[in-house]
Amino acid sequence: MLIDIDPDSESPLYQQLHDQVVEAIADGTLQPGEALASVRQLAVQFGINSATVGKGYELLRHEGLVRTSRRSGSVIARGPADEQTPGFEPGWTARLRTLLAEAVAHGMADGAIRATTDSLLTEFAARRAERTSS
């Protein structure tokens, strides 16, 4: 799987790495147990500082999406089919609240917000189904 980092983006590089891994887990591109390149390998491939990549991995580990062991390196720790991560919802709801408020503040209609949310969720599910069938 490819990670594309936009060097000119306002979003920090480690955040872009984190976000793409999360999306790939949601749409089934990355499966539980799948091995990831090491921090060093990825930094050398990108040609960016190891600390930046390390920060992205650390964030994913902290969220329980990636686990690292000395023997097998970093692997994807869970997938959409696994039981919901305990204690995950409050923090996520707070962030979602800000995102929704942003849409409302910019004049987006409630219906349009719901439609966008639905279409994104449908897209993730469709990609997952595509993976399992092929």
Residues of the shown chain interacting with another protein in the complex, contacts defined by CB under 8 A? 1-8, 21, 24, 30, 34-37, 40-50
- The sign of the torsion formed by the CA atoms of 6, 9, 15, 18 equals negative
Cα dihedral: 69, 74, 80, 81 (round 10): -50
- Bridge partners of 66? 76
Min dist CB 113 to another protein, Å, is 27
Min dist CB 129 to another protein, Å, is 19
Per residue, what are the HEC states of 66-103? Answer: EEEECCCEEEECCCCCCCCCCCCHHHHHHHHHHHHHHH
Min dist CB 33 to another protein, Å, is 12
Please tell me the distance from the alpha carbon of residue 57 to that of residue 79, in angstroms, as a whole number: 17
- Pick the closer one to another protein by CB: 47 or 90: 47
- Pick the closer one to another protein by CB: 43 or 125: 43
User: First CA to last CA across the chain, in angstroms?
Assistant: 16
- Pick the closer one to another protein by CB: 46 or 124: 46
- Pick the closer one to another protein by CB: 49 or 72: 49
Min dist CB 75 to another protein, Å, is 10
Encoded tokens for 30: 């990355």
Min dist CB 19 to another protein, Å, is 13
- Pick the closer one to another protein by CB: 57 or 128: 57
